[in-house]
Amino acid sequence: MRRLFPVTDQTPPAVTGQAQPAVTGQAPPSAPGRTLSGEDREWSLDELAEAYAYPELAADGHWLRGNMVSTLDGAAQHDGRSQPISSDTDMRVFGTLRGLADVVVVGAETVRQEGYRPARAREAFAARRRAAGQGPAPAIAVVTASMDLDFSLPLFTAPLVPTLVLTGSAAPPERLAAAAAAGVEVVTAGEGAAVDAARAVRELADRGLRRQLTEGGPRLLGQFVAAGVLDELCLTVSPMLTAGDAQRIAGGGRLEVPTRLRLVSVLEEAGFLFTRYRRS
Ligand X SMILES: NC(=O)c1ccc[n+]([C@@H]2O[C@H](COP(=O)([O-])OP(=O)(O)OC[C@H]3O[C@@H](n4cnc5c(N)ncnc54)[C@H](OP(=O)(O)O)[C@@H]3O)[C@@H](O)[C@H]2O)c1
Out of 37, 82, 87, 134, which residue is the one contacting ligand X (CB under 6 A)? 82
Q: Which stretch binds ligand X (CB under 6 A): 75-83, 133-141, 157-165, 266-274?
A: 75-83
Contact flag: residue 169 with ligand X (CB under 6 A): no
Contact flag: residue 194 with ligand X (CB under 6 A): yes
Site for ligand X in 257-276 (CB under 6 A): none
Contact flag: residue 68 with ligand X (CB under 6 A): yes
Q: Which stretch binds ligand X (CB under 6 A): 23-31, 47-55, 76-84, 119-127?
A: 76-84
Nearer to ligand X, 100 or 149 (CB): 149
Tell me how far, at minimum, the Cβ of 146 lies from ligand X, in Å.
Answer: 4
Out of 95, 99, 118, 216, which residue is the one contacting ligand X (CB under 6 A)? 216
Tell me how far, at minimum, the Cβ of 190 lies from ligand X, in Å.
Answer: 6
Out of 13, 74, 80, 239, which residue is the one contacting ligand X (CB under 6 A)? 80
Q: How far apart are CA 119 and CA 165, in angstroms?
A: 15
Site for ligand X in 93-152 (CB under 6 A): 107-110, 113-114, 143-146, 148
Tell me how far, at minimum, the Cβ of 142 lies from ligand X, in Å.
Answer: 8
Tell me how far, at minimum, the Cβ of 45 lies from ligand X, in Å.
Answer: 20
Q: Which of 76, 75, 58 is nearest to 67 (CA)?
A: 76
**Contact string (CB under 6 A) for ligand X, positions 35-54, x = contact:** --------------------
Q: Count the residues in the chain.
A: 280
Contact flag: residue 207 with ligand X (CB under 6 A): no
Contact flag: residue 195 with ligand X (CB under 6 A): yes
Q: How far apart are CA 34 and CA 46, in angstroms?
A: 15
With vertex at residue 103, the alpha carbon angle to CA 210 and CA 233, rounded to the nearest 5 degrees, is 80
Binding residues for ligand X, per CB under 6 A?
68-69, 76-77, 80-82, 107-110, 113-114, 143-146, 148, 194-195, 215-220, 223, 247, 249, 251
